[in-house]
Structure 1
Amino acid sequence: MASLSSFNASEVSSIGGALQADAGKYENKQDVEFQWAVKAYHHAETYFNLISSVDPRYLKLTQLDDEIYTLFRQEFPDFNVEILDEDKMKSPAAKEKWRGFCNKFQNRVEDFNMGTLIRKNSHEEFSESNSTLVVRIQFLAIEIARNREGFNDGLNKKTKETS
């Protein structure tokens, strides 16, 4: 996880700016941006340590994992969770489709639309080049799918030691 620590204060501040849900409603304050970036970084670090320590196939991220996964695969049956295509995922049409999916979890998943870092390539650690911003419910949908479909298996330190 040391690669995330390579972000400097300016880069962390930039990430924080992107994490604000509706920039038009809020005054742009660096200390708030920095706090969002720090929160996103700590979330990413904690999650990566977790999937590196336990068998991700049995990991439960929320009480709604089954519902999130089922709906995700119904609405995005061909979505490649192994390696994210950022351009395709963030196209205007994809954003509209994701918005409908995400809003189904409003008031059901805490901080469902909070900015969250996700790894673009599921086989690699978080790094500046291997991360992008998504909202929390997208993170959950993609990571639940990665866990259940085996794409996070290679990250488990215990599994690596026994193979």
Structure 2
Amino acid sequence: MSSLESFNASEVSAVGGALQSDAKNYENKQDVEFQWAIKAYHHAETYFNLISSVETRYLKLTQLDDEIYTLFRQEFPDFNVENLDVDGMKTPASKEKWRGFCNKFENRVEDFNMGTLIRINSREEFSESNSTLVVRIQFLAIEIARNREGFNDGLNKKKKETS
């Protein structure tokens, strides 16, 4: 992913503009997928910088954080947010359960089903081996839980130690 850092401001701006267009106008082209990857990478990088800099227990990601967290823990009480079971999340039964959860936030959370990168191991930085793709509402549910349950706490300490 480090090659994405080489883009200049006008290239990033062009990607952002293209990603705002109606998806129906696109074919499944490699350049569009790459543009999405740039947006996802920048979101991941920005989010990681944020959680590495603040007390995450008090961080609000949306106005619906309380509702997202409560419903997430009601529907997924034993879900391990510290270290994601990516294969377990991809089973047909799990996908169906997540679909029901996610759809409750359609028209309530902006871009609720947009593809987003998430760290697999909450104690580690984003990397190719420590990230997977989820939809935005899954990202929010898992990261709100990680923040409230203390799994992102050590990141700001780790950053201070390496600075």
The reply on whether 1:63 has 2:97 as its aligned counterpart is: no
Aligned-partner Cα distance in 2 for 1:100–1:26: 27
Q: Does residue 85 of structure 1 match 2:85?
A: yes
Query: For residue 49 of structure 2, what is the aligned residue in structure 1?
Result: 49
1:102 matched to 2:99 = no
**Post-superposition offset of 1:158:** 7.9
Contact 1:53–1:158 under 8 Å retained in 2: no
CA-to-aligned-CA distance 1:86-115 (integer Å, 9 cap, x gap): 011111100000000000000000000000
Report the TM-score, using the length of structure 1 for normalisation.
0.82
Q: Unaligned stretches of 5+ in structure 1?
A: 9-22
Instruction: Please name the residue that 2:111 is paired with.
Output: 111
Q: Is the 8 A contact 2:52 2:159 kept in 1?
A: no
3-state secondary structure, aligned to 2:52: helix
Are residues 1:5 and 2:12 paired? no
Contact 1:117 1:131 in 2 (8 A): yes
Q: Tell me by how many angstroms 1:73 deviates.
A: 0.1
Which amino acid is the alignment partner of residue 114 of structure 1?
M
What count of residue pairs does the alignment treat as equivalent?
145
Local SS of the residue matching 2:84: coil
Deviations 1:90-141, CA, capped at 9 Å, x for gaps:
1110000000000000000000000000000000000000000000000000
- Structure 2 gaps, min length 5: 6-22
Aligned to 2:63, the other structure's residue is in SS state coil
Against the structure 1 CA distance between its residues 43 and 158, is the aligned structure 2 distance closer, same or farther, given a 3 Å change threshold? same
Q: Is the 8 Å Cα contact of residues 147 and 153 (structure 1) preserved in structure 2?
A: yes
TM-score using structure 2 length: 0.82
Alpha carbons of 1:58 and 1:107: their partners in 2 closer, same or farther (altered >3 Å)? Answer: same
Letter in 1 for 2:59: L
Percent identity for Structure 1 against Structure 2: 89
| Higher mean C-alpha deviation, range 31-40 or range 107-116 | 31-40
Contact 1:118 1:139 in 2 (8 A): yes
In the alignment, residue 42 of structure 1 is paired with which amino acid? H
Root-mean-square deviation (CA, aligned residues, Å) is: 2.3
